[in-house]
A and B are shown apart, each in its own frame.
Chain A
């Protein structure tokens, strides 16, 4: 069965609204979670890295006030896209790692901002 889930799998929202995406690890404790964004025909771009209980580390060019990441527990991280714009439309994927080097991707969330 799936090790990592994301919710929602697909979301359409209006420009200016905020959207929260959840990433849950189902069978193990995820010490580190990564959030990626992928535009059509582009590679996965790392947005931020989060460790449970601490502030996320954002990649250069990613606005931390626009993409709020909360990693409150070892099984849940959330990414909130605030004041979404059409250019935020993308495929958002989380990746989780455990204490060893095992790693799993979530199934992704497709965000469309109209």
Chain B
């Protein structure tokens, strides 16, 4: 079983829609959780960290459920510029990160 699993999509949504991505991780001792965004042929960029209490950054809301080992990302009022691949990332200990395969999002006019 892969350490971090995501639905690869693609998710095709119209502008203005709300879309949610889910991610599960296998290591119950995982310590930190992140969502990264990766555009085609570019390096991943940190979108937001994910905390147990849930956190919001503008149109983006991230949730963490440690009991279910589940992480989510909600994007409201989708913009064309949100089209990208969203990577669920988990840190167990130290500096090593485990990446999911990513979920592809395409926002259409």
- A residues near B (Cβ < 8 Å) are 32, 34, 41-44, 46, 49, 91, 93, 95, 97, 101, 103, 105-108, 110
Contact = CB atoms under 8 A, between A and B. Distances in A.
Interface stretch (B12-20, B42-50, B57-65, B70-78): B42-50
Contacts of B97: 34, 46, 95, 103
Given A46-B96, A49-B96, A106 B87 contact: no
A12 B102 CA distance: 27
A92 B21 CA distance: 26
A34 B44 CA distance: 14
A32 B95 contact: yes
B66 interface: no
Nearest to A91: B41
B22 to A, nearest CB: 16
A107 B95 contact: no
B97 to A, nearest CB: 8
Which of A44, A95, A97 has most B Cβ within 10 Å? A44
5 contacts: A43-B99, A46-B96, A101-B95, A103-B95, A108-B41
